């Protein structure tokens, strides 16, 4: 018995002693991600949403690592940017935002102003490092070289693309082109019920998982894993103003109409944020 215990102990010690550089790198990565999530540059409103979007768990599931070239698609208000850009700075990585099309003919002044505002908002190099912005549109595709990215994040965009013929396939093909072999496409998306008709569900903000998975497969990307970390079984999806009835948008009237102070939000606030798919695709090596 003593001999068996001694052998087992030796095996445990051997495993613990193996690859110290790898373990140190993992600890440094975890610490950098924790610092990025805890950063005081993130607003109280953004932090409040962590309970629904679970950034630490999601990014670990997707396989974010130091020194990656990270591309965020259509970052909007920058909820993920406030985490990803500081993480890239702390880990010798590169952060790229892909949104808009300033190379398009007759680009609007509003589009130019929006790009300038985003760059200004994330201009503090001491926090965010060097934030790059490139064009992303049906015309421009994803304006990055072939096999130049390690990690592409798409958060809650497929319901928009599903309403433009050919957009989802166009963009998935671009992601496959820009990812390096072994690179990751990370997806967070409002989730419709299985078997839902995407033509009907997309205008409400939801698409079925199969819609995303099939589009990725057509582009040559492989579903590596799916997670339920952002599932919300209380989300019935039958909201009067689509997914935007739920927090954080919390709409009380149709888009473009004034807020309705008489609208009872209690049911929708109790649901919280939407039920979401969390998927990890990989470009084959």
pLDDT for the residue 170: 98
**134, containing H or E segment:** strand 131-134
pLDDT for the residue 90: 97
pLDDT for the residue 14: 39
* CA neighbor of 65 nearest in space, from 175, 221, 227, 186: 186
Strand arrangement of the beta sheet that strand 94-98 belongs to: 131-134, 94-98, 69-73, 149-155, 179-190, 276-282, 222-227
What residue spans define the domains of the chain?
A: 25-234+274-282
pLDDT for the residue 30: 87
Give 225's DSSP letter. Answer: E
- Give exposure, 59-95, as e/b (b: 16+ Cβ within 10 Å): bebbbbbbebbbbbbbbeebbbbbbbbbbbbbbebbb
Angle at 247 (CA atoms; ends 243, 248), nearest 5 degrees:
105
Q: Is the pLDDT of residue 84 over 50?
A: yes
Distances (CA, A) of 142 to 100, 139, 173: 10, 9, 10
Q: Is the pLDDT of residue 17 over 80?
A: no
CATH 3.30.70.270 fits 25-234+274-282, yes or no: no
Q: Is the pLDDT of residue 213 over 50?
A: yes
Bridge pairing between strands 94-98 and 131-134: parallel
Percent of the chain with pLDDT over 90: 89
Q: What CA–CA distance (Å, rounded) separates 203 from 206?
A: 7
Q: What is the pTM of this model?
A: 0.90
């Amino acid at each position: 018995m003593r001999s068996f215990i001694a052998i087992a102990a030796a095996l445990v010690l051997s495993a613990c002693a193996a690859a110290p550089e790898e373990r140190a790198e993992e600890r440094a990565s975890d610490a950098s991600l924790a610092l990025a999530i805890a950063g005081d540059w993130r607003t109280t409103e953004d932090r409040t949403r962590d309970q629904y979007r679970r950034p630490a768990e999601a990014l670990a599931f997707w396989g974010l690592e130091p020194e990656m070239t990270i591309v965020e698609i259509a970052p909007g208000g920058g909820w993920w940017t406030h985490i990803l850009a500081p993480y890239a700075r702390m880990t010798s990585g590169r952060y790229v935002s892909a949104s808009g099309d300033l190379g398009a003919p007759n680009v609007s002044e509003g589009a130019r102003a929006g790009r300038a505002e985003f760059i200004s908002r994330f201009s503090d190099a001491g926090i965010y490092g060097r934030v790059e912005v490139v064009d992303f549109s049906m015309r421009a595709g994803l304006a990055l070289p072939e096999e130049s990215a390690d990690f592409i994040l798409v958060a809650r965009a497929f319901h928009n693309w599903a309403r433009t013929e050919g957009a989802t396939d166009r963009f998935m093909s671009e992601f496959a082109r820009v990812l390096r072999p072994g690179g990751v496409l990370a997806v967070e998306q409002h989730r419709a019920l299985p078997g839902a008709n995407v033509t009907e569900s997309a205008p409400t903000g939801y698409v079925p998982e199969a819609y995303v998975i099939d589009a990725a497969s057509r582009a040559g990307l492989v579903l590596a894993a799916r997670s339920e970390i952002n599932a919300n079984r209380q989300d019935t999806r039958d909201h009067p103003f689509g997914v935007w009835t739920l927090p954080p948008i919390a709409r009380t009237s149709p888009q473009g109409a004034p807020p309705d102070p008489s609208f009872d939000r209690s049911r929708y606030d109790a649901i919280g944020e939407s039920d979401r798919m969390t998927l990890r695709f990989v470009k084959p090596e």
